[in-house]
Structure 1
Amino acid sequence: MRTRWVSLACVDGRHILVDLSPHGACTLLGVPLWEVTNSVISVAGVLGPAVARTAPGPRPAPQVVWAWRRLCRSGGRIRVAQLAAEVGWTRRHLLTRFREQIGLAPKTAARVIRFQHALRLLQHPERRLSLAGLAQTTGYSDQAHLTREFRALTGATPLELAAGWPYRGGT
């Protein structure tokens, strides 16, 4: 999971991107995910030890998986204190376990989830909202907040991203 934008270039045709759920990555990698957050990991560095293991890594706590799914369902709009109360843990315990097993603190994960929701809505021109409407729909305080988050997470504003998409829907 990433909290800042990164430019990845593939010059030799030998790179792939694997998209795992955080709890799937925790099980596959068998390391605390905060150790690999915002990192590009080599296959040899990851799959070598994973392939050599006879058993999968530790399974994430059910409370962490539930909290992750709850954050996703809320579009990143649930408060961490409420999330902790719903799983029956203190905020500090949730933060520690979540960061270890998901790779980010719950509040940071909520930020990324909220951004992803806004990005998905922005990618559908047939349902395009104004930036103020997009900000309101996805939980940002205003259009300026939305734009700051897009710039922080992608290096571009929402309009710059939308203008750069080669495919805009249709057939």
Structure 2
Amino acid sequence: MRSSVRERETVARWDVARPSWPSRTAGVSLAGFRDSSAGPVDVPLVPHPAVTLVVEFGDGLFVVGDATGRQQRGSLVAGLAPGAVRMRGENVTCVEVRLSPVVAYAVLGVCPAELDRTVVALDDLWGRDLSRIREQLADAASWEDRFALTDSLLARRRETGPLVDPEVARVWDRIVISRGRVRIEDLADEVGWSRRLLWSRFRSQIGLPPKRAATLVRFRHAAHRLAAGDNAVRVAADCGYVDQSHLHREVVAFTGMTPSTLAGDPGLAVDDIAWAEPVAHLGVMRKT
């Protein structure tokens, strides 16, 4: 296991830090990244069933571009399933935050539905809060201090923000636990709502319709299976796709890459290092 992790770090070309403690806010995960490469970085933002915040600090260049050619510089928020997005830059240092959509509205101050399949400047949402936390992160002596600062900000914002309906949170949890393999009609019956009411409330509070959310969760599980070296035919069968062609179409739709290209992409290698569970200790994992 240890040698496998080191190999992935070499491919990923990042130093990665993770906190040794869980966030004060349920549904929040943190990781720190420092570009350890000798040249420009160009990696995809692989869709994940979470709203992604990137808070960059330092003197590096950080640009995100989407399939339309639109570019966003600096700290950003990526909604659920933002499409084929790539992160480019040099000497990048940042804290990345993954927010469950159940808490994203409260933390961000904007409904995730307004972020559907898009990337926006975090400054547009946080204003002075962003300027303050970037300065604090740059001045902090360690990753542990940076995580504590970021987590405190997220907790403060969460305390004053709106809550999603308990029924919506329950449906989201069921989709995640089932890895996207659950009938939406059954979930509506489970919470005592009509399918129309569930669709409307879930879409407005989470940012995607329930079926699309289930598709995203299923894709993410399949992507990690592909990255682990599993055969595409087996992944398609195990993850609930009709066949391999169905899996192929969905991977292309979410990432703009074929399954074989996605499986070897360093973006997933970075992901496995940064978000692996459980968190055993804090430390910067350096490439070898």
The bucket for the TM-score relative to the shorter chain is 0.7 to 0.9
Of 251, 259, 272 in structure 2, the residue corresponding to residue 158 of structure 1 is 259
Taking structure 2 as the reference length, the TM-score comes to 0.52
Give the letter for the 1:60 counterpart: V
Matched length: 167
Of 90, 106, 125 in structure 2, the residue corresponding to residue 27 of structure 1 is 106
| Alpha-carbon offset, residue 14 of structure 1 | 6.8
Instruction: Tell me which moved more, 50-59 or 71-80.
Output: 50-59
Higher relative contact order (Cα pairs below 8 Å, separated by 6+ residues): 2
| Alpha-carbon offset, residue 160 of structure 1 | 1.2
Equivalence for 2:177? 73
| Residues 30 and 56 in structure 1, CA contact (< 8 A), matched pair in contact too | no
Q: Does 1:39 align with 2:140?
A: no
Query: Partners in 1 of 2:93 and 2:217 — Cα distance?
Result: 29
Equivalence for 1:122? 226
- SS of residue paired to 1:41: strand
Equivalence for 2:194? 90
Give the letter for the 1:109 counterpart: A
Equivalence for 2:249? 148
- SS of residue paired to 1:117: helix
Give the letter for the 1:78 counterpart: V
- SS of residue paired to 1:18: strand
Q: Does 1:5 align with 2:84?
A: yes
| Alpha-carbon offset, residue 21 of structure 1 | 0.7
Query: Partners in 1 of 2:247 and 2:172 — Cα distance?
Result: 22
Query: Partners in 2 of 1:48 and 1:55 — Cα distance?
Result: 18
Query: Partners in 2 of 1:49 and 1:92 — Cα distance?
Result: 39
Q: Structure 2 unaligned runs (5+)?
A: 1-79, 130-152, 273-287
| Alpha-carbon offset, residue 9 of structure 1 | 2.4
Query: Partners in 2 of 1:54 and 1:102 — Cα distance?
Result: 15
Query: Partners in 1 of 2:258 and 2:158 — Cα distance?
Result: 46
Instruction: Tell me which moved more, 80-89 or 40-49.
Output: 40-49
| Residues 135 and 146 in structure 1, CA contact (< 8 A), matched pair in contact too | yes
Equivalence for 2:43? none
Equivalence for 1:138? 239
Higher strand share: 2
Q: Structure 1 unaligned runs (5+)?
A: none
Instruction: Tell me which moved more, 15-24 or 82-91.
Output: 15-24
| Residues 27 and 59 in structure 1, CA contact (< 8 A), matched pair in contact too | yes
| Residues 3 and 112 in structure 1, CA contact (< 8 A), matched pair in contact too | no
- SS of residue paired to 1:23: helix
Query: Partners in 2 of 1:3 and 1:107 — Cα distance?
Result: 16
Taking structure 1 as the reference length, the TM-score comes to 0.85
Instruction: Tell me which moved more, 22-31 or 48-57.
Output: 48-57
Of 164, 182, 189 in structure 2, the residue corresponding to residue 60 of structure 1 is 164
- SS of residue paired to 2:171: helix
- SS of residue paired to 1:110: helix
Kindly tell me: are residues 10 and 88 of structure 1, through their superposed partners in 2, closer, same or farther at Cα, counting changes over 3 Å? farther
| Residues 3 and 108 in structure 1, CA contact (< 8 A), matched pair in contact too | no
Give the letter for the 1:142 counterpart: D
State the superposition RMSD in angstroms.
2.8
Higher helix share: 1
Query: Partners in 2 of 1:111 and 1:49 — Cα distance?
Result: 36
Kindly tell me: are residues 28 and 53 of structure 1, through their superposed partners in 2, closer, same or farther at Cα, counting changes over 3 Å? closer
| Residues 64 and 97 in structure 1, CA contact (< 8 A), matched pair in contact too | yes
